[in-house]
A and B are shown apart, each in its own frame.
Chain A
């Protein structure tokens, strides 16, 4: 069977499962629509959170990114897992104890202010639209590269699938499809990883292969990789060119950003209690760690394998006489390019330019020792995608990887959609503009805004290449979440004295400074030499988060303390099982 057949089969099957779940898990009340009825078991919420969290970028790009960055890639590994510690210890159980529906809901009630609520809505929408556009773009790429469907049609099909379960089932539908999507994506990720680990290190467990020796030798894999990349003129794999200060700030911005991301936080509203929220955060991190500890191993193996098979390989122009040419090159004692190279070349993910006209691919770093120029630029997504073929796995595994990538993109998109729709229908319409609205009407508006959000994000995804902010998810989404949302939620729980004036000042400070800094250095020609304290736009969210916290504390101390009912509410959410006056 061809890989095209298997890809259609797996994508068709998994989409069928998602739609069936959607039809089964329809939401009939706003409570079911926003928080899946507050009764999702912790382990299932852990899986759903993991799928919600791991996006197209985690699935397709992260291993490749680490393969190129080496130690520098650690910021993503530590940043995107360490945030769960903050979430579990500082936010999730208390927000669940508070017992409402959305992040702006907490901000609005805790700070007894519609203005604070609306600012939180703006932050949540900015974060979520930036994030979701990247997911829709990922869906378009997957469809156009593997299913022979055009980019825009791919986005439309993906959007339609998400539309079915998000609009019908709300959070309930999204939760149970995410559970299924987690199973698909983790299986699709680890199966090829196990085989490539066996090929490179002879160890079936990638995490152990990572610290093990090269197959059939007693040289450590990472030591060999360090030697190989430095010989080609790259920096050592286990070191970095970035400054420690920047590495520190990016890691911190990603951690605090993770903890402040609305689509992650709302997952913890779906469980039954604060205790269940804690447990659920543990399960979520465990399911995430399954992929995140495999990714650096895949990255290192893939870099090793790429250099072994592609560097100094003789290029073959045509696919038709590939076998004959391979035999001919081998008989001359030279190395032919591998079969997977030809298969993936047509996707544009490998860009070979024979600068010295010798018909051989030379892969070199910036400090090339033999003065040969680099001739090949591999796209970072190629490593996860080509893994099954590099490891000589059967064609069905490729279909599985494509279905896994789509599962990762769709599950994240759906989670974000829930944030967008609840921010509009609940926080903006019900709680700010039309407080007398009936539950039936609110549910209708929730579905309508989910529908509009699907359409808008599909359009943003379709025009992603001409919208520069889409490529800056890491800087924008995490920066804003860290600098504007994390401080007010954290202080709202741990500091009773925090008040309305301080919350508004803190959110605005974090939001405005972060957005201006990122825009200046990303789009308006700011240069690296001018970075404040040597901190890149990706890491600046951490600095402005500290500024926002200090601003909040100062403003709170020079303005009146919050009303007594609010102080009582804060005490209630700290103690398990208490019912507050405001509820």
Chain B
């Protein structure tokens, strides 16, 4: 659409790609490790906890936190790169 500049289009494309990649990680850490692959992962241990179980009760939460931190850093970088920082 003509009201949107090329710069804005490229920025929005990068944002969507970045978001999609992080959501894949979000899915793998929770639904993946904690539910779908739990039984397989449970043969391994982290300390005294079966790995799949640990992901479902602890690990996924840590990964979520890391995802948001990376998102904040990455978005600041994208805003700078496309000069939307005001």
Q: Does any Cβ of B come within 8 Å of A101's Cβ?
A: no
A4 contacts the other chain (CB 8 A): no
Cβ A292 vs Cβ B61 within 8 A: yes
A84 CA / B68 CA spacing, docked (Å): 8
A251 at the interface (CB under 8 A from B): yes
A-side contacts of B48, CB under 8 Å? 211-213, 220-223
Contact assessment for B11 and A210 in the assembled complex, using a CB-CB cutoff below 8 Å: no
Q: Are B49 and A78 in contact (CB under 8 A)?
A: no
- Tell me, in angstroms, the Cα distance from A292 to B30 when the chains sit together: 15
Cross-interface CB contact of B47 among A220, A278, A279, A296, cutoff 8 Å: A220
CB distance B46 to A282 under 8 Å? no
Which residues of A75-89 are within 8 A (CB) of B? 77-78, 81-82, 84-86, 88-89
Q: Say whether chain B's binding surface is mostly helix, strand, loop, or mixed.
A: helix
Contacts of B76 in A (CB 8 A): 275
Nearest CB on B from A88, distance (A): 5
Q: Residues of A contacting B49 with CB < 8 Å?
A: 210-211, 220, 222, 238
Interface membership of chain B positions 1-37, coded 1 if the CB is closer than 8 angstroms to chain A and 0 otherwise: 1011000100110011001001100100011001110
User: Is A16 positioned at the interface, with any CB of B under 8 Å from its CB?
Assistant: no
Residues of B within 8 A of A285 (CB): 64-65, 68
A202 at interface by CB-CB < 8 Å = no
How big is chain A's contact interface, by range? 35 or more
**Given contacts A78-B56, A575-B84, are A251 and B30 in contact (CB under 8 A)?**
yes
> In the complex, are the beta carbons of A286 and B61 less than 8 A apart?
no
Inter-chain residue pair count (beta carbon < 8 A): 136
Give the docked Cα–Cα distance between A145 and B27 (Å).
Answer: 42
Complex interface bits, B60-78 against A, C-beta within 8 A gives 1, otherwise 0:
1110110111011001100
Shortest 4 CB-CB distances between A and B: which pairs? Answer: A220-B48, A211-B47, A74-B56, A296-B57
Within 8 A of B (CB), among A483-539: 494
Please name all residues of chain B whose beta carbon is closer than 8 Å to the beta carbon of A85 when the two chains form the complex. Answer: 22-23, 26, 64, 67-68
A77 to B59, CA, bound (A): 10
How far does the alpha carbon of A576 sit from the alpha carbon of B3 in the complex, in Å? 16
Q: Which residue of B lies closest to A300 (CB)?
A: B57
- Which residues of chain A have C-beta atoms less than 8 A from B34's C-beta? 74, 78, 251
Task: Say yes or no: B15 contacts A71, CB within 8 Å.
Answer: no
A198-247, CB < 8 A from B: 207-208, 210-213, 220-223, 238, 244, 247
Q: A220-B48, A220-B49, A285-B65 are known contacts. Are A78 and B86 too (CB-CB below 8 A)?
A: no
Q: Is A574 on the interface with B (CB-CB < 8 A)? A: yes
